[in-house]
Structure formats: C-alpha cells, structure tokens
Structure 1
Amino acid sequence: MPRPGARAVIPAVPEPSALPPWLAHALRAQRGPVPWNAVVRGALAAGPLLLLAVAAGRPSAGVIAALGAMFAGINDRPGSRRTAVHRLGVPALAGAAGLLAGTYAGQSLGAVPLTLVLTGLGFVGGAVSAAGPVASAVGTQLLVTAAVGAGMPLPESGRQRALLLLAGAGWLLLLRLALPTPANRGVEFRFDGERAAVAAVYEAVAALLAAAGGPGAGARRAALTAALDHAQDALAGPRLRGRAGAAADRRLRAQYAAALPLAEAATALAWAGEALPGRAAQGPRRLAAAVRTGGPCGPLPAPARTVPGLRALDDALLHAADAFDRGTAADLHARQRSRAAFRRTVLGAAGREYGVRVALCLGAAAAVAQALHHVHWYWLPATAVFLVKPDLGPLVSRVLCRAAGTVLGAAAFAAPAALLPAPAGPVALVALSGALIPVATRHFAAQTAVVTVLVLSLIVAGGEPQASWGRIGETLLACAIVLLVGHLPAPGRHGGGVRDRLAHAAEAARAYHRHVVGGTAEAGHRAAARSTAYGTGDRARRWALRREAYRALAEARAAVDRAAAELPAVARHTEGTGELAATLERLVDATTACAVQLDDTGRLTPRLAARLGELLDALTAQQEREGLTAATAKGPVTV
C-alpha cells in the first residue's frame, strides 16, 4: 500500500545501464527521513508483550502476541490515524482467521489432506491479494498464519492463538492511535498524518512548476500523482467528531480540495513544455508551509497572467487563499472500490493467475516440508507466501533479496544469541527488531534480515533450540520452489494482472477525456460558468475523474515496470504494455491541458485538437494489439 508525509521513492543506488533490470531492481532501495514515530511504536510493541508473557510464565502466549505485533508493524506505514484502523486491522483479522483455521486443520488432518487445504487457501488468498495493497496484506497474513498454525507446536488452542494474535496487532494499533508524533509538537497530533500528506501535495505542485520545460518534468508529474494519492488515502474514512476535531478535519479537507486546481494548472503548464519563472512556484511553497504549521498562508505572489495555464494557476492560488481563510470546501472525493469491481478483479484474469501461482507455491512448499519431517516445517510454506508476492518486486529480485537477507539475519542473530542470557537476550532482540522494521521495509533484503532476527529470537524465547542454519536451509529451498513455479508455463495468457490494470487505466482515461472534450457546446457552457462553478458541479466532477485517471495510471505503470524487470522468459509476456502505459500518460496530460484551455477560451487550439486525435488513434490501436477492448470510440475533437 504508495505509502507515504510520504516522499517520492528515490533509488539509493544508481541503476547502472549495464546491469539487467532484475538485478538492478535488487540493488534499489527507498530513501527518506527516518520515521521515528514508527520506530518508537515498534520498540514498544512486540518486545514488551513478550516480556510480560515471559514474566507471567506463558512465553508461548507472548510469542503469538509478538507475531501479531510484527505483522502489524510491517503494515504500519506513514499515513493518517483514521486509515490505520483499516490498514492494520483488516489484515490482522485475516491473520487471526488463518491461524484459527490452520491450527484446527493441523490438529485433525494428515499430511496429504492438510496440503490440499493449504493449497486451496493459497488460491483464495492469492486471488484476493490481486485487489490492492490492503487486500495483498490480507491474503499474505491469512496464508502465513495458516501455515504457522498448522505446524507451530504451541500449547494454546486455536481460539486462544487467534485472540493472542489480535491482541498483539491491537496493541500496536493502539500505540498508532494514541502516541503523538515527536516532530509535530505544538500541533494537534491527531491530524499529523493528514497535515504532512496535504503539505506534500503543495510541495509537489511547486516542484512540478519549477521543473516545467526541463527533462525532469515527467518525474515531477508522477511525484505529484503519488502525493495526491497519498493525501487522498490519508483523508479517507469517517470524519472526526467534536467541535475541535470537526473544524480541523474540515480545514484539512478544504486545503486538499484547493490543491486540485493547482495540480491541474501545473500539469497543463508542464505539458506546454515551457520554462516558468521562479515566482510561479513560490505560492504553492507558502501554502505547504501554512499546512504544516497550521497557520495562515499570508499573501501569495501572483504569476503573470500571460497564457491560459498561468491564468489558471493565478485563479487557483486565489481560490486556495480563500479556502485557507474560510476552512470550508465541498465534500472530498474519496476513491470507492465497489464490490462489483472487487469481485471482477478477484475472479478475473489477474486474480486467477496470481491465485494459481500462490496455490502451487504454497502447496508444493507444504508437501516438501512435511516430507522432510522438519520440526519447523511451517517455515517453508510461510516463506514461499512472502516470496510469491508480486508487489515486492520482480521474482528473481525477491528471491535474491530473501536469500541474502536470511543469511545476513541468521548471522546477525548467532552471536547475540550465544552471548546474551535468556530470556532477557531474546526479548531485547525482539524489541530491537521491532524498532528496526519501519526502516527496514525500504528494502526487501533488509526487511528479511530484521524479520529473521525477530523470528529466531521468538523461537528461543518460546523454549525451542536455536535454529539459524535450519532457517537458512528452509529459505533457500523455498526460493528454489518459487523460482520453479514462477517460471512454469500456465494455460491462458500471461500478464493478466498487468493487462487488467491497464484496461482499468484506459477506461478511466477515456472517461476523463469524454467529460473534458464532450463537444463545443458543452465546452462553451463550461467556460462561461468557470467563475461560478469553482469546486462544485462540473469542475468537481472533472477533478474526481482526473484523480481516478491518474491514480489508475500510476497503478498500471507500477505493474508494467515490475513485469518489465522480470527475467526475459517472463518479461516477454508483457512486451508492448509499456508503450500503452506511455500513451495513456500522454493522453491524460493532454486532456488536462485541454481542460485548462477550455476553461479559458471555450475552444481548443489546433495543436491540442490534433494531438488528442493522434493519441486516441494510437491508444485504440495499442489496445487492440494487446487484446484490450477499447471502452468507447473516439469522440469529436473540435477546434
């Protein structure tokens, strides 16, 4: 789940052109400030829970609760408190259900029926995981805890295990809701996630304006989309009650809504390809500072009103200043995934393809593990579940990072485990690992290393012998299984997940285009009403469609880039999808420029009309070539 206030992901290591994509991906990591608040929560979550259980003479109960806190810590990404309940709570509920089902299946079924049950769960969990970031976390926790419940020898019953897992996750969620952010002293801490996310939008607008006319404009536009996505998610969910909370909530929503016309104007100016004076970016920067501090924005420097884009930017700045003063706005557009769309994804090509891969990996890993009669046989299927997740990067990159991280984590655990006394030593390592998880999530190998130390510490704290070398062997075997299954030929067309996201992005782009360029009469009415319809009616609908188009496009582009970084044997199945994604990006950018032009004059310039026609023709041809049915025929483009 773009997480996220979130800064744009920047490669920590330059990507040498000589390296193949799958290897270059393994060398990349996210960069950004250390999330100290998440580090504090991690230190106060699993370790203290384990310490209390050990002190009470129930170390096995502490192990389960610490596992719940660990899973919640992996999902504890920057964002607002109101969305944390959904982002952390729903996967925790799925994990409890998996632990309950796995425990009873492991106690009552033999090796073959148990393998079949886990395989069936693998298909369900994999299909659900294709629906989005939270759904991916749901599917992962369901399957990992099912494997743990089936194989981990613990005295607690299935119901007790499920409750303990929920208690661990609930404790970290409570810390997430209650602890203030240290960096935001003096500002109402309940809204620090929303405030940082909205401020990042204004900073991204300023960065795009500063980059207009240069080679970095495309990357800045993508960063603006990511910032808008993150802010939209941070403000989603129920409104807060109480006079103070409701007023602050309305103010932040108004500030987010005021950023939408600024983002539209900045995108149109970047599309024009002409450099702008530095004065153009000063206004959004001052608005970003006002959001962060909670103070007034003050006077904003006005850009010269020489072209439609600059006139739209000036109007948007005036509207933002008014919105900041009044603190009210129309209802926020929140992205809603319908049940029909969820079912379509889960039951469609993307869900079936991913479900089959996960089921084969989980079933094969469970069968091999039980045949080896290893005491920790559940490690193998649990590791396979993590490895098969496509949102963690290309397959070979995941395997390399997992293997390297496990070896590093086992080596890092060996010395402290031999020197530190029990039970204080394992408890301290669990607390330290919990604190490092929020930083380690920036790279899969680092996350694997930290989680390996935490899991090995839990095993020792639970009274079992040290198992570093066994952990390495099981991981390497899981890597081999996932590599094999991931490259097996399968019926149907490969790349269903990529094409499913591209189809949705194309549908959203065409809906946005139809709304903006619906004929000269409609465009003329829109231009005539532009002074009175700001933020409501036609413009509100347009901004909602624009947000959906850019968001769907960002998701599709991420899927295309991941598929392109696979080994050639897998990457060839999605060849040509990058060209389609690029055409969609150009179409949505051009449509945004059209919206600004129509608001200003009521008519399209010949350049814009010709460009739209070219892009729509190219999009239709590429959709047909990729087997994606064009949603609608090209509409009229009138000058």
Structure 2
Amino acid sequence: MPRALPAVPPWLAHALKAQRGPVPWSAVARGALAAGPLLLGAVLGGHASLGVVAAVAAMLAGVNDRPGSRRAAVERLGVPALAGAAGLLVGTYAGRNLGAVPLTLLLTGLGLLAGGISAVGPVASGAGTQLLVAAAIGAGMPLPEPGPLCALAYLAGAGWLLALRLALPTPGALTGDYRFDGERAAVADVYDAVADLLDAVGTDAATPRRAALTTALDHAQDALAGPRLRRYASSAAERRLHAQYAAALPLAEAATALAWAGETVSGRAAEGPRRLAAAVRGNRPTGPLPAPSRSAPALRALDDALLHAADAFDRGKSGELHPRRRRTRGALRTALGTGGREYALRVALCFGASAAIAQALHHARWYGQHQHWYWLPATAVFLVKPDLGPLASRVLCRAAGTVLGALVFAGLAAVLPRPAGLVALVAVSGALIPVATRHFAAQTAVVTVLVLALVMVGGEPQAAVSRIGETLLACALVLVVGHLPMPGERGAGVRARLATARGAAHAYLGHVLVGSVDRAERWALRREAYRTLAAARTAIALAAAELPALARHTEGTDAVAAVLERLVDTTTACAVHLDDTGRLSPRHIERLEELLAELDGGRPRLGATAPELPLAG
C-alpha cells in the first residue's frame, strides 16, 4: 500500500492559505487614484518629501480599505489615520530633539500604549499599527519639513483616499441612491444567509450556515453603525435600510430555532427571505411572499417574521435607529485586562528592542551607512500583530514577500525612468494592494515595491538589499520575543475573549429565562452573544495555528467555545418557544441543563433561576 502523506502542520497550512472572493474593482480604482497622484503632484510642486509622507498614509489607509459601507469606512480609515498623524508628529519631534536612549524609551512607551489599544478590536488595532509605524518614520526619516506640516501631509494622504471612498460609486451601484450601496449589500446578505440556513436545516451543513448568518449579521451591523450627526436616520432611504435590518433579526432568530430543532423544512420556507434579499439589492418592493407552514413554534415565528418584514419593506418605518451598545467601558477593560497587558508587553518589547538595535547599527562604523533604521521597528510592528495571523505564518509570509518584492523592484528600477516610472510604479502598487490583502505574503511584496519606489523618489539610493536585511532581522527578533515568557498566563488574549463570550451568553440566557417581553433588548443581547463568540472563535483558530510551543497554551478552548455556541443556539430556540407557548418543553430544559453542566462542572437548577416558567404539558 502507498504510504499516506504526512499532514501539513497547522502553522504551515495557515501560511499557504489565501482568502478568496471577487476582485474589489472599486477599491482597486481608489488605490490607483490615491498614492500615485498624490506623489506626482508633490513632485511637480517641488515637495517630494511631503508627497512621500502622503503616499505612505494613503498606502496604509488602502490596507484598511475593505468592503463595507461608506459610513463604516469613516471610522475604519479615519481613526487609524488620526493616530498615524499623532505618531508622526511625536516621532518627528523626538527624532530631532532626543538622543538614542531617550528616543528608544519613548518608542517603547508608545509600543506599550499602542499594544494595549490594539487588543480592543480591528479599528483600534489599525490605529495602534499606524501610531507606531508613523512614529518610527517620523523619528528616523530625514524629513526637511517641520513636524506639524508632515502630520498635515499624512492626514491629507489618508483623507484623500477616504474622500475617494465616500465620493466614488461602486460598480453596479450607479442606479438609485448609491450612497448606501454598501449598506444595501450587507443587509441583503443577511436575508440570503437566512435562506441558506433554512435550506440546510436538518443537514450537517446547518452549523456552518448558522455561523455564516452570524458573520452576515455582524457585517450588516457594522455597515449601519457608522458615524451620524443625530440619533434619527437622516433620509428615507436610510430609515428604510434600518427597518430592513431590524426585520431580519426575528427571521434570523426563527431560522436558528429551526436549525436547533433539526427537522427538515420545505423549500418554500427559504423563498420568502430570498425575495426579501432581492428587494433590498434592487431597492424595490418585495411583492407577495410565500407563507411557510405554521405547524411548529419556530415555523410560526418564521411566518410572523416574514409578515413583519413585508410590512417594514412596504412602509419603511424605523424612525429611531437601533442604538449602539455602549462599548467604552468594555474597550477599556479589554485594553487593561490580561489579554491587553500581554499584547502591550510584547508590542512594547518588540518595538523598543528593534528601535534600539536599529539605532545601534545606525551608529556602528563597521556596519556601514544605515540610512533607514526606522524600517526595523516599523517592520516589527506588523510582525508582532496577532490579528494578522499566527506568529510563524506572519514571519514566513513577511520574509518571502519582502524577498520577492525587493527582487521585483530591483529589476524594475534598473529599467524605469526616474521619477516618472517610479511614480507610475507607486500608482500600480496602490491599485494592487486591495487584491494583495488576501494573503500576507502578497501584501508584503506589493508594499515592499511601493516603499522602495517611494524611497527612490525621495532622493535616496536603491535599497532593496537593505530592505531584505532589515526584514529578516525583524523576523528573528519577533520570533524570539514571541516565545519569551511574560507575566501572567500564556494565551491570556484567547481566554479573555472566551470569558467575554461566556458572559454575553449568560446575559442572553438570563434575559430569556426571566420572560422579558423586550424583544429589541433580547435581539441586542443575542447579537452580542454571537458576535463575541465569533471573535473568540477567530482568536482560538489563530492560536491553534501557532507553533506547538505556543499552541499548547490554548488547548481545549475550542471545546469550550463549541459548548457556548450550542448554549446560545439553545437559548434562541427557548426564546422562540416561549414566545409561542409561554412555557419551556422538557427537551429545552434538559438541553440547557446539560450545556450549563458542561460549562460549570455541576448540574444547575433552572427552576431556581426562572421559577415562573413551568414545563410544557
């Protein structure tokens, strides 16, 4: 018999895996119109160094330019840009007025601050990244302009890309009110996900389809939760979108309850949500909707939700937007908690140590002229970010991408005219970034070409070899720091997210068991439970793909997450059943007790929690 091939280790499999999906042509167009034109205008105006700063800001904003709504892009692009401008201002002042030791201490302190902030969430992580990268650039790049002017140039670069994001329509959205095309697509995806889950009820595909529904709801929630000037929607189109999103929540609840029951439903049940999805995308009325059977509580809930959705689509009434849950206290708790502290210490150690090593090499005569010492700490910032993937995967992809990008640039730099050819190369690289973000190595290669082109436009010599050396040194440093013991328990970030998900699940369960009639609050708690659980799942998957020395510290957390997921699904089924009958069935009670016993190590007494809810029958 032929011998079976050995399984690819998780850390290597993650490095080889790339995201898939359609090409984001609108983001490609924005990338082409961002860094390149900014740099060209600055060069023609005689301010090449300011153009380099603006192009760097546009590049970093382009990395954050992901699919979604325009209102969400304001926060996703704007907040990191503000942090980057502040970092550039601080770094410029420190680099010009402080010696090597005070400068290193200051950068280490910034690393501690940015690391704690980065643990809060994706936008905060982007802000922390740009704060440190811009601080390193400001401290090490020989910019002739004063710091405030450089910071304004940085804001102008990121602001230009944000302006393009807000102003340019996306393909296929030229009809109707294109301002809300991202919101419409996100809400329509929710209805499609509901239909997909209904099609999968009673099959093995139901669990991944329910997870896909959670992802769609998260995206829609983010798309509609961007900044606004007042509490109420400012236009009829916006009010209609919020009404359509609100109408999807009871549909998602009913579909989840049907999936929990596991009894196959007719294909007719999914027709209504699919017609609603088409109505959202086309910005048109729904027309008649097929009614599903009403033979079970979850099916009756589904039918009622469809009737409510049809009414909401026709009337478009939702004067008050769904309030965003206050997260300020939770964000502060995350940043100062065990996960935030571990993250902050590693970022500070990597950033400070890389800055110290880089400056030592900069002043060492035997090393030669080390003009770009800021590259080492800036590279370490990206490598130390766990939200970009497992440590081994990040290091492998960063090293491979840098070598490939440097070799490609070296070949192009030998034949391209200067500066016109280099400016064109910056524009092409900016256009490629939205596609390259699907894989860290590809993104690194494109960014390397762009950065090396900017360096030459700024008047410095070709630096491909130096770029490779800085990256490999940063990879080695981050690998060492990543395996160093730190105060507290390893894997604290994963356990902190799992504890947050557990608290949200119990809050949702408690609200359902006390028989509250506040459905809006129930849906908000359900969303919070699933959202925090999805974040914990992501962190667990990344930790599992680390090298074995690191992955062992989070063993078993995936099993806890699976129990929490079943608990939230069961709670949803209980909520739907209580709405219909006012009582819990023996099956619901038994399942809740089993799941709580798995989580708590003992058999809970639900009767003590909710004595007013007798068993059905």
TM-score, length-normalised on structure 2? Answer: 0.94
Matched AA of 1:435: A
Residue 146 of structure 1 is matched in structure 2 by: 135
Matched AA of 1:119: T
Residue 290 of structure 1 is matched in structure 2 by: 279
Which residues of 2 match residues 335-374 of structure 1 at below 5 A? 335-373=324-362, 374=370
Q: Secondary structure at the match of 1:153?
A: coil
Report deviation, 1:276: 2.1
Quote the Cα distance in structure 1 between the aligned partners of 2:326 and 2:345: 24
Which residues of 2 match residues 111-510 of structure 1 at below 5 A? 111-239=100-228, 246-329=235-318, 331-373=320-362, 374-510=370-506
- Contact 2:74/2:227 (8 A) holds in 1: no
Which of 561, 568, 584 aligns to 1:581? It is 561
Matched AA of 2:283: G
Report deviation, 1:185: 1.7
Call closer, same or farther: CA 1:17–1:187 in 2, change over 3 Å. farther
Q: Secondary structure at the match of 2:22?
A: coil
Quote the Cα distance in structure 1 between the aligned partners of 2:292 and 2:518: 26
Q: Secondary structure at the match of 1:446?
A: helix
Q: Secondary structure at the match of 1:183?
A: coil
Which of 609, 627, 633 aligns to 2:589? It is 609
Q: Secondary structure at the match of 2:305?
A: helix
Residue 6 of structure 1 is matched in structure 2 by: none
- Contact 1:239/1:246 (8 A) holds in 2: no
Report deviation, 1:85: 1.5
For the pair 1:558 / 2:538, whether they are aligned, the reply is yes
Matched AA of 1:587: L
Report deviation, 1:332: 3.6
Quote the Cα distance in structure 2 between the aligned partners of 1:550 and 1:401: 31
Quote the Cα distance in structure 2 between the aligned partners of 1:195 and 1:339: 28
Report deviation, 1:619: 1.4
Quote the Cα distance in structure 2 between the aligned partners of 1:244 and 1:558: 33
Matched AA of 2:522: R
- Per-residue CA deviation, residues 581-603 of structure 1 (Å, 9 max, x unaligned), is 11110000000011111111111
Residue 9 of structure 1 is matched in structure 2 by: none
Call closer, same or farther: CA 1:234–1:244 in 2, change over 3 Å. closer
Matched AA of 1:548: E
Call closer, same or farther: CA 1:39–1:122 in 2, change over 3 Å. same
- Contact 1:550/1:588 (8 A) holds in 2: yes
Which of 100, 106, 116 aligns to 2:95? It is 106
- Per-residue CA deviation, residues 597-628 of structure 1 (Å, 9 max, x unaligned), is 11111111111110001111111239xxxxxx
- Contact 1:229/1:551 (8 A) holds in 2: yes
Report deviation, 1:237: 3.3
Matched AA of 1:116: L
Quote the Cα distance in structure 2 between the aligned partners of 1:210 and 1:401: 39
Report deviation, 1:159: 1.1
- Per-residue CA deviation, residues 197-245 of structure 1 (Å, 9 max, x unaligned), is 000100111111111111121111111111101101111135579x996
Matched AA of 1:285: R
Which of 31, 55, 59 aligns to 2:20? It is 31
- Contact 1:21/1:566 (8 A) holds in 2: yes
Matched AA of 2:274: R
Which residues of 2 match residues 48-127 of structure 1 at below 5 A? 48-127=37-116
Quote the Cα distance in structure 1 between the aligned partners of 2:226 and 2:457: 39
Matched AA of 1:45: A
Q: Secondary structure at the match of 1:60?
A: helix
Report deviation, 1:336: 3.0
Call closer, same or farther: CA 1:572–1:450 in 2, change over 3 Å. same
Quote the Cα distance in structure 2 between the aligned partners of 1:257 and 1:341: 24
- Per-residue CA deviation, residues 269-313 of structure 1 (Å, 9 max, x unaligned), is 111122222111111111000000100111111111121111111
Q: Secondary structure at the match of 1:268?
A: helix
Quote the Cα distance in structure 2 between the aligned partners of 1:244 and 1:18: 53
Report deviation, 1:64: 0.5
Quote the Cα distance in structure 1 between the aligned partners of 2:326 and 2:400: 37
Report deviation, 1:330: 6.2
Q: Secondary structure at the match of 2:487?
A: coil
Call closer, same or farther: CA 1:397–1:255 in 2, change over 3 Å. same
Q: Secondary structure at the match of 1:79?
A: coil
Report deviation, 1:634: 6.2
Q: Secondary structure at the match of 1:156?
A: coil
Matched AA of 2:447: V
Residue 534 of structure 1 is matched in structure 2 by: none
- Per-residue CA deviation, residues 512-568 of structure 1 (Å, 9 max, x unaligned), is 1011112xxx3xxx6xxxxxxxxxx61111111111111111111111111111111
Quote the Cα distance in structure 2 between the aligned partners of 1:98 and 1:40: 28
- Per-residue CA deviation, residues 146-194 of structure 1 (Å, 9 max, x unaligned), is 1111111121111111010001011111111111112212121110110
Residue 367 of structure 2 is matched in structure 1 by: none
Which of 579, 584, 591 aligns to 1:599? It is 579
Call closer, same or farther: CA 1:634–1:362 in 2, change over 3 Å. farther
Matched AA of 1:605: S
Quote the Cα distance in structure 2 between the aligned partners of 1:211 and 1:240: 41
Residue 11 of structure 2 is matched in structure 1 by: 22
- Per-residue CA deviation, residues 3-44 of structure 1 (Å, 9 max, x unaligned), is xxxxxxxxxxxxx98111111111111111111111111110
Quote the Cα distance in structure 1 between the aligned partners of 2:488 and 2:340: 13
- Contact 2:117/2:340 (8 A) holds in 1: yes
Moved more, 18-27 or 244-253: 244-253
Matched AA of 1:146: A
Unmatched 5+ residue regions in structure 2? Answer: 363-369, 603-607
TM-score, length-normalised on structure 1? Answer: 0.91
